[in-house]
Structure 1
Protein backbone atom coordinates (compact mmCIF):
# COMPACT_ATOMS: atom_id res chain seq x y z
CA UNK A 1 0.00 0.00 0.00
CA UNK A 2 1.44 3.37 -0.96
CA UNK A 3 1.37 6.32 1.38
CA UNK A 4 0.03 9.74 0.31
CA UNK A 5 2.60 12.24 -0.90
CA UNK A 6 3.73 14.83 1.59
CA UNK A 7 5.19 18.29 0.91
CA UNK A 8 8.73 17.00 1.51
CA UNK A 9 8.22 14.41 -1.27
CA UNK A 10 7.34 16.99 -3.92
CA UNK A 11 9.46 19.54 -5.77
CA UNK A 12 9.45 22.89 -3.97
CA UNK A 13 7.74 24.59 -6.94
CA UNK A 14 4.76 22.21 -6.93
CA UNK A 15 4.29 22.68 -3.20
CA UNK A 16 4.29 26.43 -3.74
CA UNK A 17 1.79 26.25 -6.64
CA UNK A 18 -0.59 24.18 -4.53
CA UNK A 19 -0.38 26.68 -1.70
CA UNK A 20 -1.08 29.55 -4.11
CA UNK A 21 -4.40 28.11 -5.32
CA UNK A 22 -6.59 30.19 -2.99
CA UNK A 23 -4.92 33.45 -4.09
CA UNK A 24 -6.29 35.56 -6.93
CA UNK A 25 -4.74 37.78 -9.61
CA UNK A 26 -1.82 39.98 -8.61
CA UNK A 27 -1.71 38.28 -5.17
CA UNK A 28 -0.24 35.24 -6.92
CA UNK A 29 2.55 37.23 -8.59
CA UNK A 30 3.31 38.97 -5.29
CA UNK A 31 3.41 35.60 -3.51
CA UNK A 32 5.80 34.28 -6.16
CA UNK A 33 8.24 37.13 -5.51
CA UNK A 34 7.94 36.65 -1.75
CA UNK A 35 8.62 32.93 -2.17
CA UNK A 36 11.78 33.79 -4.15
CA UNK A 37 12.98 36.01 -1.31
CA UNK A 38 12.40 33.23 1.23
CA UNK A 39 14.36 30.77 -0.93
CA UNK A 40 17.21 33.28 -1.13
CA UNK A 41 17.46 33.35 2.67
CA UNK A 42 17.64 29.54 2.99
CA UNK A 43 20.85 28.03 1.54
CA UNK A 44 19.15 24.60 1.32
CA UNK A 45 16.56 26.00 -1.10
CA UNK A 46 18.86 27.72 -3.57
CA UNK A 47 17.93 27.12 -7.20
CA UNK A 48 18.20 28.84 -10.57
CA UNK A 49 16.18 31.94 -9.64
CA UNK A 50 17.62 32.43 -6.15
CA UNK A 51 20.03 35.20 -7.20
CA UNK A 52 17.45 36.96 -9.38
CA UNK A 53 14.29 37.06 -7.24
CA UNK A 54 15.63 39.38 -4.51
CA UNK A 55 16.22 42.11 -7.10
CA UNK A 56 12.74 41.93 -8.70
CA UNK A 57 9.73 43.94 -7.59
CA UNK A 58 6.33 44.80 -9.05
CA UNK A 59 5.96 48.39 -10.27
CA UNK A 60 2.45 48.22 -11.71
CA UNK A 61 -0.12 45.89 -13.22
CA UNK A 62 -3.31 45.89 -15.24
CA UNK A 63 -5.82 43.05 -15.37
CA UNK A 64 -7.71 44.81 -18.16
CA UNK A 65 -8.28 43.09 -21.50
CA UNK A 66 -7.14 42.69 -24.13
CA UNK A 67 -3.56 42.43 -22.78
CA UNK A 68 -3.23 41.97 -19.01
CA UNK A 69 0.25 43.07 -17.94
CA UNK A 70 2.70 43.41 -15.07
CA UNK A 71 5.70 45.74 -15.02
CA UNK A 72 8.64 44.72 -12.84
CA UNK A 73 11.69 46.61 -11.65
CA UNK A 74 15.05 44.83 -11.62
CA UNK A 75 18.49 46.00 -10.56
CA UNK A 76 21.42 44.23 -12.28
CA UNK A 77 23.91 42.93 -9.70
CA UNK A 78 27.54 41.79 -10.14
CA UNK A 79 26.35 38.17 -9.87
CA UNK A 80 24.36 38.72 -13.12
CA UNK A 81 27.53 39.85 -14.99
CA UNK A 82 28.60 38.26 -18.27
CA UNK A 83 32.27 38.95 -17.53
CA UNK A 84 32.20 42.17 -19.54
CA UNK A 85 30.29 44.28 -17.02
CA UNK A 86 26.85 43.69 -18.55
CA UNK A 87 23.80 41.53 -17.83
CA UNK A 88 24.48 37.97 -18.98
CA UNK A 89 22.21 36.90 -21.86
CA UNK A 90 21.24 33.68 -20.10
CA UNK A 91 20.29 35.67 -17.02
CA UNK A 92 18.15 38.01 -19.16
CA UNK A 93 16.43 34.95 -20.68
CA UNK A 94 15.71 33.56 -17.23
CA UNK A 95 14.30 36.89 -16.07
CA UNK A 96 11.98 36.98 -19.09
CA UNK A 97 10.98 33.33 -18.65
CA UNK A 98 9.80 34.05 -15.12
CA UNK A 99 8.45 37.59 -15.53
CA UNK A 100 6.47 37.01 -18.73
CA UNK A 101 4.71 34.08 -17.03
CA UNK A 102 3.43 36.20 -14.14
CA UNK A 103 0.64 38.06 -16.02
CA UNK A 104 -1.01 34.67 -16.52
CA UNK A 105 -1.92 34.86 -12.82
CA UNK A 106 -4.14 37.83 -13.65
CA UNK A 107 -6.38 35.64 -15.82
CA UNK A 108 -5.91 32.19 -14.27
CA UNK A 109 -8.63 30.02 -12.78
CA UNK A 110 -8.83 26.29 -12.03
CA UNK A 111 -7.90 24.38 -15.19
CA UNK A 112 -6.90 27.58 -17.01
CA UNK A 113 -3.28 28.66 -16.56
CA UNK A 114 -3.35 28.20 -12.77
CA UNK A 115 0.16 26.64 -12.86
CA UNK A 116 1.39 29.06 -15.61
CA UNK A 117 2.30 26.18 -17.94
CA UNK A 118 5.67 25.26 -19.43
CA UNK A 119 7.74 27.08 -22.04
CA UNK A 120 7.56 25.96 -25.67
CA UNK A 121 9.53 28.86 -27.12
CA UNK A 122 11.51 31.72 -25.64
CA UNK A 123 12.90 34.14 -28.20
CA UNK A 124 15.06 36.88 -26.73
CA UNK A 125 16.55 39.71 -28.80
CA UNK A 126 19.31 41.78 -27.24
CA UNK A 127 19.30 45.34 -28.58
CA UNK A 128 21.69 47.13 -26.19
CA UNK A 129 23.97 46.10 -23.33
CA UNK A 130 22.55 46.32 -19.82
CA UNK A 131 25.42 47.37 -17.50
CA UNK A 132 25.80 46.03 -13.97
CA UNK A 133 24.16 48.53 -11.61
CA UNK A 134 21.42 49.39 -14.12
CA UNK A 135 17.83 49.66 -13.01
CA UNK A 136 15.38 48.38 -15.63
CA UNK A 137 11.65 47.99 -16.05
CA UNK A 138 10.39 44.73 -17.51
CA UNK A 139 6.89 45.10 -18.98
CA UNK A 140 5.24 41.73 -19.57
CA UNK A 141 1.87 41.14 -21.18
CA UNK A 142 -0.43 38.37 -22.29
CA UNK A 143 -0.93 38.70 -26.05
CA UNK A 144 -3.22 35.66 -26.26
CA UNK A 145 -4.20 32.83 -23.93
CA UNK A 146 -6.20 29.92 -25.25
CA UNK A 147 -7.13 26.71 -23.46
CA UNK A 148 -3.82 24.98 -24.30
CA UNK A 149 -1.36 27.58 -25.62
CA UNK A 150 -0.53 31.20 -24.94
CA UNK A 151 1.65 33.96 -26.39
CA UNK A 152 3.41 36.38 -24.04
CA UNK A 153 5.65 39.37 -24.64
CA UNK A 154 8.24 41.21 -22.60
CA UNK A 155 10.25 44.43 -22.97
CA UNK A 156 13.21 45.45 -20.83
CA UNK A 157 13.82 49.20 -20.73
CA UNK A 158 16.40 51.31 -18.95
CA UNK A 159 15.12 53.51 -16.12
CA UNK A 160 16.61 56.99 -15.96
CA UNK A 161 17.81 58.56 -12.70
CA UNK A 162 14.58 60.55 -12.47
CA UNK A 163 12.54 57.32 -12.77
CA UNK A 164 11.39 57.66 -16.37
CA UNK A 165 11.65 54.81 -18.84
CA UNK A 166 14.60 55.07 -21.18
CA UNK A 167 15.65 53.12 -24.26
CA UNK A 168 14.50 49.62 -25.13
CA UNK A 169 17.27 47.15 -24.23
CA UNK A 170 15.94 43.61 -24.68
CA UNK A 171 12.70 42.12 -26.05
CA UNK A 172 11.15 38.70 -25.65
CA UNK A 173 8.43 36.53 -27.18
CA UNK A 174 7.39 33.61 -25.00
CA UNK A 175 5.13 30.73 -26.01
CA UNK A 176 3.76 28.38 -23.34
CA UNK A 177 1.68 25.22 -23.09
CA UNK A 178 -0.90 24.82 -20.32
CA UNK A 179 -0.14 21.98 -17.87
CA UNK A 180 -3.10 22.42 -15.52
CA UNK A 181 -5.08 19.33 -14.63
CA UNK A 182 -8.71 19.56 -15.77
CA UNK A 183 -10.88 21.66 -13.48
CA UNK A 184 -13.11 19.55 -11.26
CA UNK A 185 -16.67 19.35 -12.47
CA UNK A 186 -19.13 21.06 -10.18
Structure 2
Protein backbone atom coordinates (compact mmCIF):
# COMPACT_ATOMS: atom_id res chain seq x y z
CA UNK A 1 0.00 0.00 0.00
CA UNK A 2 1.10 3.51 -0.70
CA UNK A 3 -0.08 6.71 0.96
CA UNK A 4 1.14 10.28 0.90
CA UNK A 5 2.71 11.23 4.25
CA UNK A 6 0.64 14.43 4.29
CA UNK A 7 -2.39 12.27 5.19
CA UNK A 8 -0.77 11.61 8.56
CA UNK A 9 -1.69 15.15 9.69
CA UNK A 10 -5.40 14.96 8.87
CA UNK A 11 -6.09 11.22 9.26
CA UNK A 12 -3.33 9.75 11.42
CA UNK A 13 -5.19 6.47 12.09
CA UNK A 14 -5.61 5.79 8.37
CA UNK A 15 -1.96 6.55 7.65
CA UNK A 16 -0.76 4.44 10.61
CA UNK A 17 -2.82 1.46 9.40
CA UNK A 18 -1.31 1.74 5.89
CA UNK A 19 2.15 1.79 7.48
CA UNK A 20 1.20 -1.18 9.69
CA UNK A 21 0.19 -3.20 6.62
CA UNK A 22 3.51 -2.38 4.97
CA UNK A 23 5.59 -3.53 7.96
CA UNK A 24 4.29 -7.10 8.00
CA UNK A 25 7.28 -9.43 8.11
CA UNK A 26 5.59 -12.70 7.19
CA UNK A 27 4.00 -12.94 3.73
CA UNK A 28 0.24 -12.70 3.85
CA UNK A 29 -2.15 -13.73 1.06
CA UNK A 30 -3.61 -10.21 0.82
CA UNK A 31 -0.12 -8.87 -0.03
CA UNK A 32 -0.73 -9.88 -3.65
CA UNK A 33 -3.45 -7.24 -3.79
CA UNK A 34 -2.63 -4.68 -1.08
CA UNK A 35 0.90 -4.00 -2.32
CA UNK A 36 -0.55 -2.44 -5.47
CA UNK A 37 -3.11 -0.20 -3.74
CA UNK A 38 -2.53 3.55 -3.66
CA UNK A 39 -4.48 5.69 -1.21
CA UNK A 40 -5.76 8.56 -3.38
CA UNK A 41 -8.10 10.51 -1.08
CA UNK A 42 -9.41 10.52 2.46
CA UNK A 43 -12.32 12.70 3.57
CA UNK A 44 -14.71 12.30 6.51
CA UNK A 45 -16.49 8.98 5.97
CA UNK A 46 -14.87 8.27 2.61
CA UNK A 47 -11.66 6.63 1.41
CA UNK A 48 -10.64 6.42 -2.26
CA UNK A 49 -8.04 4.00 -3.58
CA UNK A 50 -6.45 3.44 -7.00
CA UNK A 51 -4.75 0.36 -8.37
CA UNK A 52 -3.37 -0.77 -11.68
CA UNK A 53 -4.84 -4.16 -12.54
CA UNK A 54 -2.05 -6.65 -13.20
CA UNK A 55 -2.23 -10.07 -14.85
CA UNK A 56 -1.76 -11.66 -11.43
CA UNK A 57 -5.09 -10.08 -10.38
CA UNK A 58 -6.97 -11.56 -13.34
CA UNK A 59 -8.91 -14.70 -14.17
CA UNK A 60 -8.38 -16.94 -17.22
CA UNK A 61 -10.45 -14.51 -19.33
CA UNK A 62 -7.99 -11.71 -18.58
CA UNK A 63 -10.35 -9.69 -16.37
CA UNK A 64 -10.08 -8.79 -12.69
CA UNK A 65 -10.87 -12.00 -10.79
CA UNK A 66 -14.07 -12.04 -8.72
CA UNK A 67 -12.20 -13.19 -5.63
CA UNK A 68 -9.75 -10.34 -6.08
CA UNK A 69 -12.67 -7.89 -6.32
CA UNK A 70 -14.11 -9.23 -3.04
CA UNK A 71 -10.70 -8.94 -1.37
CA UNK A 72 -10.29 -5.36 -2.61
CA UNK A 73 -13.70 -4.42 -1.23
CA UNK A 74 -12.90 -6.09 2.10
CA UNK A 75 -9.54 -4.32 2.50
CA UNK A 76 -10.48 -0.91 1.12
CA UNK A 77 -13.82 -0.43 2.87
CA UNK A 78 -12.29 -1.35 6.24
CA UNK A 79 -10.25 1.86 6.25
CA UNK A 80 -13.44 3.96 6.25
CA UNK A 81 -13.98 3.11 9.93
CA UNK A 82 -10.80 5.07 10.71
CA UNK A 83 -11.80 8.07 8.58
CA UNK A 84 -15.09 8.59 10.42
CA UNK A 85 -15.38 11.87 12.30
CA UNK A 86 -18.78 11.39 13.90
CA UNK A 87 -19.84 10.63 17.45
CA UNK A 88 -18.67 7.00 17.35
CA UNK A 89 -14.92 6.99 16.81
CA UNK A 90 -13.37 3.55 16.21
CA UNK A 91 -9.77 2.75 17.18
CA UNK A 92 -9.55 -0.36 15.00
CA UNK A 93 -11.01 -1.46 11.67
CA UNK A 94 -13.18 -4.09 13.35
CA UNK A 95 -14.12 -7.46 11.88
CA UNK A 96 -16.39 -8.35 8.98
CA UNK A 97 -19.89 -9.63 9.63
CA UNK A 98 -21.20 -9.38 6.06
CA UNK A 99 -19.69 -8.74 2.64
CA UNK A 100 -21.67 -8.54 -0.59
CA UNK A 101 -20.31 -7.99 -4.11
CA UNK A 102 -22.07 -7.29 -7.41
CA UNK A 103 -20.24 -7.79 -10.70
CA UNK A 104 -21.34 -5.69 -13.69
CA UNK A 105 -18.43 -5.35 -16.12
CA UNK A 106 -14.99 -6.94 -16.28
CA UNK A 107 -11.80 -4.88 -16.10
CA UNK A 108 -8.74 -6.14 -18.02
CA UNK A 109 -5.10 -6.04 -16.94
CA UNK A 110 -3.40 -2.73 -17.60
CA UNK A 111 -6.31 -0.52 -16.52
CA UNK A 112 -6.19 1.67 -13.44
CA UNK A 113 -9.24 1.24 -11.25
CA UNK A 114 -10.71 3.66 -8.72
CA UNK A 115 -12.26 2.21 -5.56
CA UNK A 116 -14.57 4.65 -3.77
CA UNK A 117 -15.58 3.54 -0.27
CA UNK A 118 -18.21 5.51 1.64
CA UNK A 119 -19.78 5.08 5.07
CA UNK A 120 -23.53 4.62 5.05
CA UNK A 121 -23.48 4.71 8.84
CA UNK A 122 -20.89 4.14 11.51
CA UNK A 123 -22.25 3.53 14.97
CA UNK A 124 -20.83 2.39 18.29
CA UNK A 125 -20.88 -1.30 17.34
CA UNK A 126 -21.61 -1.63 13.63
CA UNK A 127 -20.49 0.10 10.45
CA UNK A 128 -22.25 -0.11 7.10
CA UNK A 129 -19.96 0.78 4.20
CA UNK A 130 -20.54 0.76 0.45
CA UNK A 131 -18.02 0.67 -2.36
CA UNK A 132 -17.99 1.30 -6.08
CA UNK A 133 -15.18 0.20 -8.37
CA UNK A 134 -14.78 2.19 -11.57
CA UNK A 135 -12.72 1.44 -14.67
CA UNK A 136 -10.49 4.05 -16.35
CA UNK A 137 -13.51 5.31 -18.35
CA UNK A 138 -15.45 6.06 -15.15
CA UNK A 139 -17.90 3.18 -15.62
CA UNK A 140 -19.14 1.32 -12.54
CA UNK A 141 -17.85 -2.24 -12.89
CA UNK A 142 -18.33 -3.66 -9.39
CA UNK A 143 -20.13 -2.59 -6.24
CA UNK A 144 -20.05 -3.90 -2.72
CA UNK A 145 -21.47 -3.52 0.74
CA UNK A 146 -19.57 -4.37 3.88
CA UNK A 147 -20.75 -4.56 7.48
CA UNK A 148 -18.10 -4.32 10.19
CA UNK A 149 -18.33 -5.05 13.93
CA UNK A 150 -16.32 -2.88 16.34
CA UNK A 151 -13.92 -4.91 18.50
CA UNK A 152 -12.35 -1.95 20.34
CA UNK A 153 -13.72 -3.13 23.72
CA UNK A 154 -11.91 -6.44 23.21
CA UNK A 155 -8.49 -4.90 22.57
Q: Residues of 1 paired with 2:71 and 2:118: CA distance?
A: 16
1:173 corresponds to 2:154 = no
By relative contact order (CA 8 Å, sep 6+), the higher-ranking structure is 2
Q: CA RMSD in A?
A: 2.3
In structure 2, the partner of 1:81 is 58
Match in the other structure for 1:14: none
TM-score calculated relative to the size of structure 2: 0.84
TM-score relative to the length of structure 1: 0.71
1:57 and 2:53 equivalent? no
Q: CA deviation at 1:114?
A: 1.3
Structure 1: which 5+ residue stretches go unaligned?
A: 1-22, 161-165
* 1:33/1:56 contact within 8 Å kept: no
Unaligned 5+ segments in structure 2 are 1-7
Match of 2:111 in 1: 134
After TM superposition, the runs of 4+ consecutive aligned structure 1 residues lying more than 3 A away are: 34-39
Question: Is the 2:81–2:127 Cα contact (8 Å) retained in structure 1?
Answer: no
Larger of the two Rg values belongs to structure: 1
Q: Which of 103, 117, 121 lines up with 2:94 in the alignment?
A: 117
